[in-house]
């Protein structure tokens, strides 16, 4: 694909705007680490929520979705759709608690919840485990996706594609080190608008390239027949839920996704109970009400509004390029072959936006762990704020270089997704229960994280499970979750509970529901008892129904079933109104 001078001007103008935003917020971000990492806790809900959505829309996302659709059909997206269940729990059960904690990172939260040396060890361990290891895995696969995009779109070698990525990362790291979270938030808004607009346009032109929706469905039906004959069974690539004998996605895999994965697995942006950069955005919100609305908007946009432009283009790529060795690049080939030349510069800028929004967040978020929870806590306490801001900027640059190195050893974006899910399998239950059960202690988390990592290593080296790729993944998740759960429960009951003084301090500050904290509540009678569990559970159910009905309603409409689609959207609207009515009845002022 050849780009004109005008295309390059569009790309250059996009980079210039990002740099200007970084320069604008330079002074404000340099005032303190609270400004640098959580924007002084003055962020509105729509800005925080949109930033979360932009971060999860990385350069890798359309490619990974394309790979999932090509291998497992539309139902393959349950790999990440299932996390709406945990996302809605964060909205109604955890967002307000995170905001009340008043911490800068979720690693700092560890020493609010737990006491003594085990808590200090866990905080330091989490700061390096998530800030460096997990963070660089994410940066690495985002780099890998961008390398694939550039190699296919510009017809260049892997070396030059990686060199361009490093240049773009340098620009991203530059404005991120200057402006902190303020710059990340506002560039995310710009980037989200650009990339959503362009993927919608690409979906339109891709469907037109195969003759429209009806022609696309006819051609996909022929592929269904061929797949069924080769793999056995019957089912459609267009099924939102896999058929019983589907040759696309095994039913066992689907059951693991909706029955286990969402509550048991840690995954960036979908942590059970919230965490990572989602928690960072919650910390930055003005108050509890803004934190709740931010996470709710994020879940609506992430799961209901974004997927279908990617999925439509992925379906087209299955028809147009059925024999690709790497089906993930089919998305880029549709762009190169069928997007009008006048829009190519905008699409390149859109992919740069998708790349930069995630990189900016990962660098700022990872740096917050390294500085706030390791360097400041264990190496250099008591320095002035200017010193910590300087170290924050240096650690941001360090993470950028390390993430680039990690990308050299990866070869599959969706494979990296599955690896990360395995490493975090079984830890989710601890992250949920630590808020609502006083008996959870620091060793519970340490044991869960260690067991999950060891099991993942064993299943990738010594133990060989049988079956298709999807079946092996499902079996590995079930096995890892089972072992990890036994390990952390055992560790919890053979170790001492946290001291009463620490439990009372946490209960007074965060005010979790009295259920599960009854023993501690008796020791702190001045704290108003909270009995909202059943109402929150109802709102969680309504929230999941609202988003899934919106997701499937939009999907039915774009695939030509308008009647069913409108019915689903009506159910979604009624569910959303019921949530608003419930919180209005309970009093929104309580969240301010």
In which band, very low, low, confident or very high, does the pLDDT at 592 lie, cut at 50, 70 and 90? low
Percent with pLDDT over 90 in the chain: 40
* pLDDT tens-digit map of 566-587: 999 999 999 999 999 988 887 7
pLDDT given for residue 224 in this prediction: 84
Residue 127 domain flag: no
Residue 122 domain flag: no
Residue 590 has pLDDT above 70, yes or no: no
Interval 412-437 mean pLDDT: 75
Interval 461-486 mean pLDDT: 84
Please check whether residue 314 is in contact with residue 238, taking contact to mean a CB–CB distance below 8 angstroms: no
Residues 355 and 473 in one domain: no
Residue 412 has pLDDT above 60, yes or no: no
Interval 216-223 mean pLDDT: 92
CA dihedral 33, 38, 40, 45 (to 10 degrees): 170
Q: Residue 506 belongs to what domain range?
A: 499-531
Local structure of residue 380 (DSSP, 8 states): -
Considering 420-429, 437-446, 465-474, 531-540, the range whose residues carry the highest mean pLDDT is 437-446
Residues 29 and 151 in one domain: yes
| Average predicted confidence (pLDDT) for the chain | 87
Residue 60 has pLDDT above 80, yes or no: no
Residues 347 and 460 in one domain: no
Cα torsion angle, 186, 192, 198, 204, sign: negative
In three state form, how does the secondary structure of 115-141 look? CHHHHHHHHHHHHHHHHHHHHHHHHHH
Residue 76 has pLDDT above 80, yes or no: yes
Q: Give SS3 for 43.
A: strand
Identify the domain boundary among 477, 498, 519.
Answer: 498
* pLDDT tens-digit map of 289-342: 999 999 999 999 999 999 999 999 999 999 999 888 889 889 989 988 998 888
pLDDT given for residue 588 in this prediction: 61
Residues 570 and 513 in one domain: no
Number of domains present in the structure of the chain: 4
Please check whether residue 426 is in contact with residue 471, taking contact to mean a CB–CB distance below 8 angstroms: no
Residues 244 and 334 in one domain: yes
pLDDT given for residue 568 in this prediction: 97
Other Cβ atoms closer than 10 A to 541: 16
Residue 420 has pLDDT above 70, yes or no: no
Residue 200 has pLDDT above 60, yes or no: yes
Residues 232 and 198 in one domain: yes
Residues 356 and 389 in one domain: yes
Residues 191 and 327 in one domain: yes
Residue 130 domain flag: no
pLDDT given for residue 416 in this prediction: 57
pLDDT given for residue 417 in this prediction: 58
Residue 280 has pLDDT above 90, yes or no: no
CA distance 247 to 76: 12
pLDDT given for residue 575 in this prediction: 97
Residue 518 CB-half CA count within 13 A: 3
Considering 15-24, 252-261, 376-385, 433-442, the range whose residues carry the highest mean pLDDT is 433-442
Residues 476 and 591 in one domain: no
Q: For residue 265, give every residue at least 6 positions away whose Cβ sits within 8 Å of its Cβ, in sequence order, or none.
A: 272, 421, 424, 425, 426, 427, 428, 477, 481
Local structure of residue 425 (DSSP, 8 states): B
Please check whether residue 488 is in contact with residue 448, taking contact to mean a CB–CB distance below 8 angstroms: yes
Residue 584 domain flag: yes
Residues 181 and 217 in one domain: yes
Q: For residue 591, give every residue at least 6 positions away whose Cβ sits within 8 Å of its Cβ, in sequence order, or none.
A: 96, 287, 288, 289, 292, 583
Residue 292 domain flag: no
Please check whether residue 25 is in contact with residue 370, taking contact to mean a CB–CB distance below 8 angstroms: no
Residues 154 and 70 in one domain: yes
Residue 412 domain flag: yes
Considering 5-14, 153-162, 210-219, 454-463, the range whose residues carry the highest mean pLDDT is 210-219
In which band, very low, low, confident or very high, does the pLDDT at 104 lie, cut at 50, 70 and 90? confident
Residue 475 domain flag: yes
Other Cβ atoms closer than 10 A to 8: 12
In which band, very low, low, confident or very high, does the pLDDT at 220 lie, cut at 50, 70 and 90? very high
Residue 126 domain flag: no
* pLDDT tens-digit map of 526-568: 988 777 778 899 999 999 999 999 999 999 999 989 999 999 9
Residues 575 and 551 in one domain: yes
- Phi/psi for 362 (5° steps) reads -60, -40
Identify the domain boundary among 376, 403, 423.
Answer: 423
Identify the domain boundary among 486, 507, 531.
Answer: 531
């Amino acid at each position: 694909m050849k780009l004109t001078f005008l295309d390059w001007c569009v790309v250059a103008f996009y980079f210039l705007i990002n740099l200007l935003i970084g320069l604008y917020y330079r002074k404000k971000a340099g005032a303190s680490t609270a400004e640098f990492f959580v924007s002084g806790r003055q962020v509105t809900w729509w800005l925080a929520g949109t930033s979360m959505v932009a971060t999860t829309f990385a350069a890798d996302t359309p490619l990974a979705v394309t790979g999932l659709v090509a291998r497992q059909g539309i139902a393959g997206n349950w790999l990440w759709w299932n996390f709406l269940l945990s996302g809605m729990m964060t909205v109604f059960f955890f967002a307000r608690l995170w905001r009340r904690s008043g911490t800068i990172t979720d690693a700092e939260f560890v020493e609010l919840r737990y006491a003594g040396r085990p808590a200090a060890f866990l905080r330091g361990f989490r700061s390096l485990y998530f800030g460096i290891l997990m963070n660089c895995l994410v940066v690495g696969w985002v780099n890998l996706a961008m390398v694939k995009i550039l190699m296919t779109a510009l017809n260049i070698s892997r070396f030059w594609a990686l060199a361009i990525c490093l240049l773009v990362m340098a620009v991203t790291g530059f404005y991120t080190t200057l402006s902190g979270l303020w710059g990340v938030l506002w560039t995310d808004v710009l980037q989200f608008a650009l990339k959503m607009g362009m993927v919608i346009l690409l979906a339109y032109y891709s469907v037109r390239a195969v003759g429209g929706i009806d022609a696309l469905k006819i051609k996909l039906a022929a592929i269904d027949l061929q797949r069924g004959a080769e793999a056995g069974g019957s089912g459609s690539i267009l099924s939102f839920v896999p058929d019983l004998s589907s040759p696309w996605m095994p039913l066992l895999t689907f059951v693991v996704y909706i029955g286990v994965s969402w509550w048991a697995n840690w995954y960036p942006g979908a942590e059970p109970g919230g965490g990572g950069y989602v928690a960072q955005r919650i910390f930055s919100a003005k108050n509890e009400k803004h934190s709740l609305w931010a996470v709710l908007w994020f879940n609506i946009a992430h799961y209901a509004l974004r997927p279908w432009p990617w999925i439509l283009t992925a379906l087209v790529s299955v028809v147009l390029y059925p024999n690709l060795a790497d089906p993930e690049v089919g998305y880029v080939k549709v762009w190169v072959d069928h997007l009008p030349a006048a829009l190519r510069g905008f699409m390149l800028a859109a992919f740069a936006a998708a790349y930069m929004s995630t990189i900016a967040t990962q660098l700022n978020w990872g740096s917050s762990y390294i500085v706030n929870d390791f360097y400041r806590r264990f190496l250099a306490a008591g320095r002035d704020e200017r010193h910590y801001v300087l170290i924050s900027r240096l650690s941001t640059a360090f993470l950028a270089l390390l993430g680039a190195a990690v990308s050299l050893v990866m070869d599959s974006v969706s494979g990296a997704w599955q690896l990360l899910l395995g490493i975090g399998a079984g830890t989710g239950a601890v992250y949920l229960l630590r808020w609502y059960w006083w008996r959870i202690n620091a060793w519970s988390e340490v044991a869960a994280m260690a067991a999950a990592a060891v099991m993942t290593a064993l299943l990738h080296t010594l133990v060989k499970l049988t079956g298709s790729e999807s079946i092996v993944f499902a079996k590995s998740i079930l096995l890892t979750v089972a072992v990890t759960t036994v390990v952390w429960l055992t560790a919890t009951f053979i170790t001492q509970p946290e001291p009463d003084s620490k439990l009372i301090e946490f209960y007074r500050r965060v005010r979790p529901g009295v259920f599960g904290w009854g023993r501690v509540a008796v020791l702190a009678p001045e704290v108003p008892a909270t009995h909202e569990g059943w109402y929150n559970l109802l709102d969680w159910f309504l929230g999941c129904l609202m988003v899934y009905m919106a997701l499937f309603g939009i999907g039915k409409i774009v695939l030509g079933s308008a009647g069913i689609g409108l019915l689903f959207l009506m159910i979604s609207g009624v569910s959303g109104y019921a949530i608003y009515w419930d919180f209005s009845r309970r009093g929104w002022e309580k969240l301010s």
